[in-house]
Structure 1
């Protein structure tokens, strides 16, 4: 039987997710080139799916949350990522229109004036932000909620040590994902390159799916002690090692690998040598190399345990 604390955490986090989805859709609906009704259809759909998922999880799962895949975060991303994608695409459209209107060769002089957000269905948020700032703020809130939401959700079968390691990994991932999008979209040389911006947005959306999975990027202290005591085949130890391997491949395939390819493309094809771009490129190279080194270490451990 689930305790009141577990139920309160599960429902409370999902309500916060819904509030942020509503804010994102409100911002999208406030744009003049979008109708006022269909974004709220998206919100209704997200609400129904999220509440249905909450009821199903709390009724079926005795631990209050799933372990390897977190459906509520997946639904939250389904409600926010397409909206944020459209907001960034709207900014791209505005830059292209500004460029064509004034016959400019680049987007370097594009300026987004500070405007008071408009009313949608009688709802007004009196905050003066540029369109760029609105998009960035909503992305920052989303990444913060992904980390904090996973922290406050019921931990399910995860141990506290494993959950804390995963949350620390989430913080680093969130910072790199935010920097990747801001850096790619904000680079003057490609701000009006529609195919490049769309690819960057697609990779950004792809990388966010990591937050729906259990990432085990290092062996816990208990499993290390088991390994040091007993070199024989142990099913628990093997599952832990396999989980770590899956986590490493997930980070390489969904984040550091694609981010490295895009950054190298910007450097080689567009001759962009900004300091931050070069720094994060080398950072991605170093992370990929360290992750591959870690895989090699795990392989050696497996071979040693098999021989023992």
Structure 2
């Protein structure tokens, strides 16, 4: 029964990833007008092969240290988001009232009749937001493998916090001071890619290595680009607090280890003195 449940959850999570990956790549093809971009689906196309290998080679339907399923999904959506964001940057238009052939084909379907009213910027924002929801939900649904429920809950909370940081980076792209700055946008996309590539890691992650790059990026935007709003200040303060708390934790751990080392040394000397 447990094996059947794991198979069902494995199918459901991979279907969720595949569906979002197809929609994301479809939007890239729509914006670029080039069918060659369908090759971006190579990642999610391998999910069925990956699932078969995972179910055959693992006891709990999940690998211990690394999730190939999440990696394959990200190998599709990360390049797609890059193409979409760089297309928006190149157009320098907050809303491009595009009416492509693909969208017109969907206009007669009642449930998608309003899709062609969405501009590229709205599409990109929606795909980015749902991508993070899909990652958290998919990680929650997929078999937890050898992780305990406590470890899984900690990992999901880390993902939610990381997702909030990523979404705020995308919001900064809309700021007047940043909208046309190619270097800042590319650095932001690189930070987004680096952050997402931590999602395939199955083990619970620490927070210092996640927040420090976000802090440096936001401090640059505030000081150099003069991007100052409530969300920017809030997330900057949040990154500062997390980094300080992590440094404090490292200091406490090192201090306790040194104290235990001194205590063992004293105990060893006391035992040697009594022996003599």
**How far 1:13 moved relative to its partner?**
0.8
1:205-216 aligned at under 5 Å gives the runs: 205-216=193-204
TM-score norm. by structure 1 comes to: 0.77
Q: Which of 85, 95, 103 does residue 112 from structure 1 map onto?
A: 95
Paired with 1:56 and 1:123, the residues of 2 have a C-alpha distance of 37
Paired with 1:118 and 1:140, the residues of 2 have a C-alpha distance of 25
Q: Note if contact 2:21-2:44 (Cα within 8 Å) is conserved in structure 1.
A: no
1:50 corresponds to: 47
What is the root-mean-square deviation in Å for CA atoms of aligned residues?
A: 2.2
Larger Rg belongs to = 2
1:1-308 aligned at under 5 Å gives the runs: 3-31=3-31, 33-36=32-35, 38-43=36-41, 45-95=42-92, 110-115=93-98, 118-119=101-102, 125-126=112-113, 127=115, 128-183=117-172, 185-216=173-204, 247-248=205-206, 251-253=207-209, 255-306=210-261, 307=263
**How far 1:89 moved relative to its partner?**
0.4
TM-score norm. by structure 2 comes to: 0.85
1:237 corresponds to: none
Corresponding residue pairs, total: 257
**How far 1:2 moved relative to its partner?**
6.6
Paired with 1:278 and 1:18, the residues of 2 have a C-alpha distance of 36
TM-superposition CA deviations, 1:77-111 (whole Å, max 9, x none): 1111110111000000000xxxxxxxxxxxxxx44
Paired with 1:301 and 1:74, the residues of 2 have a C-alpha distance of 38
Q: Note if contact 1:13-1:153 (Cα within 8 Å) is conserved in structure 2.
A: yes
Misfit runs of 4+, over 6 Å: none
- Which structure has more RCO (C-alpha within 8 Å, separation ≥ 6)? 2
